[in-house]
Amino acid sequence: MKPYFPDDSYHTPTDTPRHWLDRLFLGSRVALHGLFVWEIVKARWLVARNQYDRAAVAATSYAVFKMAEGCNGRFHITGLENVRNLTEPVVFVSNHMSSLEGNIFNCLLLPYLDVTYVIKESLTRYPVFGPVIDSRQPITVGRANPREDLQKVLQDGVNMLQNGRSIILFPQHTRTPQFIPAEFNSLGVKLASRAGVPVLPIAVKTDFVLNGRYLRDFGPLNRSKPIHVAFGRPFQVQNNKQAHQDIIHFIEQHLETWQKDG
Indicate the burial class of 50 (C-beta count within 10 angstroms; 0-12, 13-18, 19 or more).
Answer: exposed
Domains of the chain (ranges; CATH) run: 10-261 (3.40.1130)
| Mean pLDDT value across the chain | 93
Residue 187 parent element (H or E):
helix 187-195
Mean pLDDT for the stretch of residues 67-90: 97
User: What was the pLDDT predicted at 58?
Assistant: 97
* Span 107-162, pLDDT tens digits: 999 999 999 999 888 888 888 899 999 999 999 987 667 788 889 999 999 999 99
Confidence of residue 262 (pLDDT cuts 50, 70, 90): low
Distance in angstroms (rounded) separating the CA atoms of residues 214 and 170: 22
Helix axes 187-195, 146-162, angle to 10 degrees: 40
pTM here is: 0.95
User: What was the pLDDT predicted at 15?
Assistant: 95
